[in-house]
Amino acid sequence: MHEEDVGLLWKHVEPRTGHNESRRSRRLVVSFISTVVNYEYAFYFYFYLDGTFEVEVKLTGELSTPLHLITSPPEYPLEFQLESSKQLILTP
C-alpha cells in the first residue's frame, strides 16, 4: 500500500489580484501479487481523491510449460459494495 502523485488536480488564477492556487492529485494504491505455477499476477487497485477507482492487472512469467498443458488463466471474482446497495462483480 502506498500513495502516488498523479499530476495537477486543479488550478485557479484570480484575474483581479493575480493570485493563483493549485492542488496536486494523489491516489492510494493497494496492490498484491499472486503466483500461480510459473506466472505472477499483479493486482493494483487505485483510489482517487474524487471517489473514482481503477483496477489494473499485470501478468508476468516464463512460458516453460509444454503447450498441451497450458490452460486458461484462473479467474478471481472481485466484489464491491456500491453506495446504491447493488453489487458489481468483475471477473478478469
pLDDT tens by residue, 61-82? 776 655 555 566 566 666 655 5
pLDDT surpassing 70 at residue 84: no
Residue 6: Cβ within 10 Å count: 13
CA atoms lying within 13 Å on the CB side of residue 45:
10
Residue 14: Cβ within 10 Å count: 9
CA atoms lying within 13 Å on the CB side of residue 91:
4
The tens digit of pLDDT for each residue in 52-63 reads 899 999 988 776
User: How far lies 11's CA from each of 7, 19, 24, 41, 63, in Å?
Assistant: 11, 11, 9, 38, 48
